[in-house]
């Protein structure tokens, strides 16, 4: 499968994982965080949670995976696309926390930060793993042994 299509499929899988993780956070905090409102603020449509969620899914499924493909050669954290996906997701988490935290403060802000970090790491790992598997990047980036007969 070509790289952009592989990344979009990886993005769809990653958004699925991220959405489930965010829903679990919402349930565990008894809706104190208001993640759908956070998502709406993050994508620039505060107050319109349905549109915010649709833009969130579109960005996570199409836009961010295509940016991942464009930047993959420059991403840190090694040749494994899953690990590079984690490195790609960390700046997204920083932006999510800074732009989406709204009125959160104190202990709930710390809980929000930690739980959304895990959710974004899961998104990046899933995006990279599915992308690597479908595009064949995992095999292509595996270093060749210096002396093949010595394995």
pTM of the model: 0.80
- Please give the mean pLDDT across all residues of the chain: 82
Higher pLDDT, 19 or 102: 19
pLDDT band at 118 (very low <50, low <70, confident <90, very high): very high
Quote the Cα angle for 5-94-26, to 5°: 85
Residue identified by tokens 């696309």 is: 81
The answer on pLDDT for 130 being more than 80 is yes
3-state secondary structure 107-123: HHHHHHHHHHHHHHHHH
pLDDT digits (tens, 9 = 90+) for 47-97: 787 887 888 888 889 999 999 999 888 887 778 888 889 999 999 999 888
The answer on pLDDT for 13 being more than 90 is yes
Yes or no: say if 92 and 120 are a contact pair by the CB < 8 Å rule.
Answer: yes
pLDDT of residue 95: 87
Cβ within 8 Å of residue 29, ≥6 positions away: 108, 111, 112, 115
pLDDT of residue 21: 85
Give just the sign of the alpha carbon dihedral 18, 76, 95, 62: negative
CA distances from 91 to 26, 28, 86, 94, 116 (A): 22, 25, 10, 5, 12
pLDDT of residue 124: 92
The answer on pLDDT for 129 being more than 80 is yes
pLDDT of residue 126: 93
CA atoms lying within 13 Å on the CB side of residue 39: 23
């Amino acid at each position: 499968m070509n790289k952009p299509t592989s990344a979009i499929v990886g993005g769809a899988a990653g958004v699925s994982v991220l959405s489930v993780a965010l829903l679990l956070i919402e349930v565990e905090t008894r809706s104190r965080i208001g993640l759908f409102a956070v998502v709406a603020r993050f994508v620039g449509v505060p107050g319109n949670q349905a549109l915010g969620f649709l833009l969130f899914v579109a960005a996570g499924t199409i836009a961010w995976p295509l940016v991942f493909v464009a930047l993959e050669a420059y991403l840190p954290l090694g040749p494994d696309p899953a690990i590079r996906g984690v490195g790609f997701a960390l700046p997204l988490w920083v932006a999510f926390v800074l732009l989406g935290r709204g009125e959160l403060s104190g202990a709930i802000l710390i809980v929000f930060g930690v739980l959304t970090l895990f959710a974004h790491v899961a998104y990046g790992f899933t995006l990279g793993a599915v992308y690597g598997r479908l595009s064949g990047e995992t095999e292509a980036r595996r270093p060749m042994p210096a002396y093949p007969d010595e394995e």
